[in-house]
Structure formats: C-alpha cells, structure tokens
Amino acid sequence: EIVMTQSPATLSVSPGERATLSCRASQSVSSNLAWYQQKPGQAPRLLIYGASTRATGIPARFSGSGSGTEFTLTISSLQSEDFAVYYCQQYNNWPSLTFGGGTKVEIK
C-alpha cells in the first residue's frame, strides 16, 4: 500500500500570507494526486486533481505542483475562509485510494 505523508501537521499563518503544504508518497504516484479541503462539520471538497489542475470553482490562489513522490499545495494569500484541514490523496494505485494524514492551517 502506498503511504502518503503530509507535513507539517499544523501550519500557523496570518491572513494574507502564503501557505505551503507538502505531501510525500512512499512510491511514485505519477501525477495522480488530489488535494481536498475540509472545514469543521463539512464534507471534504476537491481542490486540485492531476497534481496541478484546479477543480471547478476553485479560486486561482490555490495551486498544486509536483509529480512522482513530492507534491505541494500553495495558497498564495490566505483568506479567512481558507483556514481548514487539507488532505492529499493518491489515486494512481487504484483501487487503493490512500489519503495523507492532513495539514491543519490555522490562524497565527
């Protein structure tokens, strides 16, 4: 099974600042990597798929990069509504669809 490791576990950022989240796969997942955002009491929401393609309706301040085993989600200028938990997920090794442990982005 592919293990997905996210870092850091918690990221403290001030509104308007940039946030950089990392996700590492234990073996190559090509570009089959997604990022989700989850706010308290809500279901996860797809942000990025194919490592770098924004899902429908996702603001341009969210960007994804990477391939193989190293991936990054960048939020260019944090808005109040962006404080949430972010998960990466690989879907290359289907039907195994493993998630990372999550990164909580909190207000500094």
Partner 1 sequence: EVQLVQSGAEVKKPGESLKISCKGSGYSFTSYWIGWVRQMPGKGLEWMGIIYPGDSDTRYSPSFQGQVTISADKSISTAYLQWSSLKASDTAMYYCARQDWNHVYPFDYWGQGTLVTVSS
Closest CB to partner 1 among residues 14, 94? 94
Least distance from partner 1 to the Cβ atom of residue 77, Å = 26
14, 16, 80, 95: which one contacts partner 1 (CB under 8 A)?
95
Question: What is the rounded CA–CA span in Å between residue 94 and residue 32?
Answer: 10
| Residue 74 main-chain phi, psi, to 5 deg | -120, 130
Closest CB to partner 1 among residues 3, 77? 3
Q: Does residue 87 bind partner 1 (CB under 8 A)?
A: yes
> Please, what is the Cα angle at 24 between 85 and 47, to 5 degrees?
40
Q: Does residue 100 bind partner 1 (CB under 8 A)?
A: yes
Least distance from partner 1 to the Cβ atom of residue 76, Å = 23
Other CB atoms within 10 Å distance of the CB of residue 86: 25
Question: Which residue ranges make up the site for partner 1 (CB under 8 A)?
Answer: 1, 32, 34, 36, 38, 43-46, 49-50, 55, 87, 89, 91, 94-102
